[in-house]
């Protein structure tokens, strides 16, 4: 293991985002309180940033009212909150009619909702391959249960050939079970 450096540059310090955010909010409150109608002079933002030990650029962005990363809505969401609620209602509906949902069904529902809600000449957005599994991870109340393998005799009964043979016997007035 390499030895720890004797000193750490201020740009290399790693602090929790929340701690820096608290200091930025305190610095913004200080600047806004000191800039009232009675004091015509402007404060030096860089000096206040050094005093509160916060990044200058982040403090400058917060002064006009820009939100922090924690307060801003996520930019990488394909579905809105209402559209995601519609997917949840679809899964609830499938559960009430005792139908097992598959990952492809969840993805198809989300794509249909996106297509229905899309306006404009460009093509409707489509969810990615990993969206449905991540959606199910974020909503633990919904899960995909692996189904049991079907019995070979039961699988063969679903074969189209046996069904057509059965229809042939019925059309000729014969009962295939009589043999």
Instruction: For 149-171, write each residue's pLDDT tens digit.
Output: 777 777 776 655 555 555 555 55
For residues 135 and 106, is the Cβ–Cβ distance under 8 A? yes
Q: How far apart are CA 62 and CA 79, in angstroms?
A: 28
Mean pLDDT per block of 10 residues along the chain (179 residues) reads: 55 75 90 73 86 90 84 79 93 89 91 91 90 90 76 68 53 57
pTM, whole model, 2 decimals? 0.50
Q: In Å, how far are 70, 92, 114, 126 from 77, measured between CA atoms?
A: 15, 22, 12, 11
In a domain, 105, yes or no: yes
Asked if residue 102 and residue 130 are part of one domain, the reply reads: yes
Indicate whether 57 and 89 sit together in one domain.
Answer: no
Domain count, the chain: 2
What three-state secondary structure class fits 175? coil
Place of tokens 């609620």: 85
Phi and psi at residue 108, in whole multiples of 5°?
A: -65, -40
14 and 57 both lie in a single domain:
yes
Structural domain includes residue 158: no
Is residue 47 one of the residues assigned to a domain? yes
**Which pLDDT tens digit goes with each residue over 125-137?**
899 999 999 999 9
Same domain assignment for residues 89 and 131: yes
**85 assigned to some structural domain:** yes
Name the residue range of residue 49's domain: 10-62
């Amino acid at each position: 293991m390499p030895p720890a450096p004797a000193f750490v540059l201020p740009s290399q310090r790693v602090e929790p985002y929340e701690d820096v955010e608290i200091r930025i909010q305190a610095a913004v409150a200080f600047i806004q309180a000191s800039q009232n109608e009675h004091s015509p002079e402007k404060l030096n933002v860089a000096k206040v940033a050094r005093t509160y030990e916060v990044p200058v650029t982040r403090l400058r962005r917060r002064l006009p009212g820009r939100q922090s990363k924690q307060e801003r809505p996520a930019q990488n969401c394909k579905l809105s909150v209402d559209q995601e609620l519609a997917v949840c209602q679809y899964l609830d509906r499938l559960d009430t009619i005792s139908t097992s949902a598959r990952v492809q069904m969840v993805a198809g529902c989300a794509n249909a909702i996106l297509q229905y809600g899309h306006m404009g000449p460009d093509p409707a957005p489509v969810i990615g391959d990993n969206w449905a599994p991540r959606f199910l991870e974020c909503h633990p109340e919904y899960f995909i249960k692996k189904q049991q393998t079907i019995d070979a005799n039961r699988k063969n009964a679903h074969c189209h050939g046996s069904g057509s043979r059965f229809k042939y016997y019925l059309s000729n007035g014969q009962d295939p079970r009589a043999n």
